[in-house]
Amino acid sequence: MTDIVLTQYSGKILGPIARFLGWIMNGIYTVFSNAFGIENIALSIIVFTILIYLCLFPLTYKQQKFSKLSQKMQPEMQAIQKKYANKKDQASMMAMQEETQQLYEKYGISPTGSCLQAFIQMPIWFALYRVFVNVPAYVSSVKGVFADLTNGIMNTSGYKDVMTKLTQTYNLGIPTDFTVKDKSALYNYVVDVLYKLPTEGWETLKDKFSGLENLIDTTHESVSEFNYFIGMNISDTPIAIIKSSFTEHTYLIVIAAILIPVLSYATQILNLKLMPQAGGDNDQMAKQMNMMNKTMPLFMMIMCFFTPVGLGIYWIAGALCRSVQQFFLNKHMEKINLDDIIEKNQEKAKKKREKMGIADRQIVNNARMSTKSNTNLSSATKEEKEEKLRKAVEYTKNANPNSMAAKANMVREFNERNNK
């Protein structure tokens, strides 16, 4: 596949991921072509999407378990927040942090657990986008269809200006540079333009290259076989298909083009309805997530009108995959015993603390001492307050190096040095 590298996305992070996913996409397309005689990019996208979601299922399962445990944890978390709501002193802040950490350990989840899983998945989705919007760069069989026509175009005088004009006229969004002298790069640029040409663009192509009409028709016919889905060119945008179909009075295609964004919206709403939501009704983050869940499907539906149909197919297939997964995950989550999971997590947390040299009793006593001293200080005399603070400082100096008290002591010493 070294001959198609130049049109692949060259980003340092997403580039290698896109090339790997493109290799899988090429394999799927080849299997369907050789085994079943089916050459269709839309079908390959749907199968590829299902495969990707099956591979990511372990991460999805962890995410769901995190959400379920977060829901069960919320009352205790809110009790801690309420307990320290009006206490801004260092002792109270440290005690609150320690109790919160213990609570997360009790339930076996991390405050950043859900974010980490999303962080792992996001590069995959962005890389998939790169593959789907420029299929010939990754699927060698598709690129081969354009070989004869591309060579014919490149042997025609003034072809660079024509291809540049076509790119601008149909707003193909291709970062081509027909001023380069590298013939391999020029060849790839021509293929990129041909693949992304809308239906009306092929008629323009025949006007510009009058000696290649038969070759243009033959290539367009081949493209129509592998690059069309229910009568639509998946390289076209729904809005472009709607406009051209109205002109040609092909109203069934208009309906099909409208259905792509509508189905994208509907499947995402279905998926969100099935998703469990972490956080209570009064939780600010839950409110923000609820607002985002309402606006994002609508935003993506609008975007779907102006992006290639192939990408809309991917969004729909992805949302349906997530919905099916979520349906069975919800059934499974109803059967699992969260108390057993919490008990196992507590045992793991205990072993972890013992390994770090921190005894359970010390942690509990530290939290109690912090809250108790905080309560007593409010009613103590000035001399008593100074004595208690002196003892607290002495305690932190002799604290276990891994304890929160030792860390607090480091912060205090740092502040004292910088205030001198």
* Per-residue pLDDT tens over the stretch 118-174: 677 788 878 887 887 788 889 888 999 999 999 999 999 999 999 988 888 888 777
Q: Which two tokens stand for residue 77?
A: 């978390």
Q: Would residue 203 count as lying in a domain? A: no
Identify the domain containing residue 267 by its residue range: 241-335
pLDDT of amino acid 402: 56
Beta bridge partners of 233: 228
CA dihedral angle for residue 30, residue 34, residue 40, residue 44, rounded to 10 degrees: -40
Look at residue 59 in the predicted model and tell me its pLDDT. Answer: 80
Cα–Cα distance for residue pair 330/323, rounded to 1 Å = 10
Let me know if residue 246 belongs to a domain: yes
Residue 66 token pair: 């995190």
139 vs 289: CA distance, rounded Å: 38
For the beta carbon of residue 386, count every other beta carbon within 10 angstroms. Answer: 11
What pLDDT shows up at residue 377? 45
| C-beta neighbour count of 89 within 10 angstroms | 12
Instruction: Return the DSSP state at 233.
Output: E
For residue 229, list its beta bridge partners: 232
Q: Largest Cα–Cα distance in the chain?
A: 101
pLDDT of residue 5: 39
In a domain, 286, yes or no: yes
Residue type, 286: A
Output the pLDDT for position 370.
47
Structure tokens belonging to residue 219 = 């290539």
**185 Cβ contact list (under 8 Å, min separation 6):** 6, 177
Instruction: Copy the structure tokens of residue 31.
Output: 């299997």
Q: What is the pLDDT of residue 394?
A: 63
Establish if 86 belongs to a structural domain.
Answer: no
Q: Among all chains, which residue has been given the structure tokens 């090339």?
A: 19
What is the structure's pLDDT at 196?
85
| CB distance 17 to 131 below 8 Å | no
The single residue listed with the structure tokens 């099956």 is 54
> How many domains does the chain contain in total?
1
Q: Please give the model's pTM, rounded to 2 decimal places.
A: 0.68
Written as one letter, the residue type at 292 is M
CB 400 within 8 Å of CB 357: yes
pLDDT recorded at residue 392: 60
Q: What is the DSSP letter of 6?
A: G
d(CA 151, CA 198): 20
On whether residue 154 sits in a domain, the answer given is no
pLDDT at 302: 93
pLDDT of residue 281: 46
Which pLDDT belongs to residue 154? Answer: 94
Determine the pLDDT at residue 294: 81
Q: What residues in the chain have per-residue pLDDT under 50?
A: 1-6, 279-281, 370-375, 377, 419
Residue 279 lies in a domain: yes
Helix 159-169 and helix 183-196: axis angle, to 10°?
40
Name the residue with tokens 């003034």: 158
Q: How far apart are CA 377 and CA 374, in angstroms?
A: 5
Task: Round to whole Å and give the CA distance between 7 and 146.
Answer: 14
pLDDT, tens digit (0-9, with 9 covering 90-100), for 364-403 = 555 555 444 444 545 556 566 566 666 665 655 565 555 5
% of the chain exceeding 90 in pLDDT: 23
Does any domain span residue 79? no
Mean pLDDT (the chain) is: 79
Alpha-helical segments (H) within 108-212 = 113-133, 140-145, 147-154, 159-169, 183-196, 199-208
pLDDT at 170: 83
Does residue 277 lie within any of the structural domains?
A: yes
pLDDT in the model for residue 277: 59
